[in-house]
Amino acid sequence: MNEDAPVYKRILLKLSGESLLGNLPFGIDVKTTQSIAQEIKEIHGLNVQIAIMIGGGNIFRGTSGTGDGMDRASADYMGLLATIINAIALQDALEKMGVVTRHISAIEVKAVAEPFVRRRVVRHLEKGRVVIFSAGIGSPYFTTDTAAALRALEIKAQVILKATKVDGVYSADPIKDKKAKKYDEIKYLDVIKQGLKVMDTTAISLCKDNHLPIIVFNLRGRGNIKKAILGHKVGTKIY
């Protein structure tokens, strides 16, 4: 086996909005966004077909709005619009590096993004374009994790790479519990039974029912995306 050959041909990378924060309290750190784009460019150079689902928590998180008394649907739509802003920023960073991208929004915004048409998206991937999904599935009450699982299945991705700020899945919050155990591998059902806050239950169930593996890893570890694609041990594999 060639250690420099990717084990996945088509992937969906789930990026949280917080991944674009850098050291800022909120918003988009341009240098951090450029750094992520550089890593994506490197794996794109391996002829891997890349789709990205991006969150919006660095700008607005729907659940935080409901905590202050805002209507849930209104708050969620605001969060979805925040993901569109993030997608534009990431697309800009990638295209400045010569990587052709297509921004696909589940909420119609013709001036900045294409609507989701499954066959067209698959064709973009086949042509080597990076696809960035924004606005989740376009509806409130659904997280971008669930949207990531759904889109990954629709485009027949072979794996979901979930980039986080921790280096895998733990039995408890490793920041609060120093005795928390890190899993190298864990089954979907165990994630659900233990109530582990990796992805929401709907997303995990979708992946379980369709045998779609998830690799959870620390985005801040330089080169971790590439390691995961090359099949090296990184983070936690949910299967």
Whether the per-residue pLDDT at 1 is higher than 70: the answer is no
218 located within any domain: yes
- Supply the range of the domain harboring residue 221: 10-168+210-238
24 located within any domain: yes
Whether the per-residue pLDDT at 64 is higher than 80: the answer is no
CATH number of the domain within which 18 lies: 3.40.1160.10
Instruction: Point out the least confidently predicted range of 38-52, 101-115, 215-229.
Output: 215-229
Q: pLDDT per residue over 217-229, tens digit each? A: 999 888 999 999 9
182 located within any domain: no
99 located within any domain: yes
DSSP state letters, the chain: --TTS-S-SEEEEEE-GGGG-TT-SSS--HHHHHHHHHHHHHHHTTT-EEEEEE--TTT--HHHHHHTT--HHHHHHHHHHHHHHHHHHHHHHHHHTT--EEEEESS--TTT-EE--HHHHHHHHHTT-EEEEESTTSSTT--HHHHHHHHHHHTT-SEEEEEESSSSEESS-TTT-TTPPEESEE-HHHHHHTT-SSS-HHHHHHHHHTT--EEEEETTSTTHHHHHHTT---SEEE-
Q: How many domains does the chain have?
A: 1
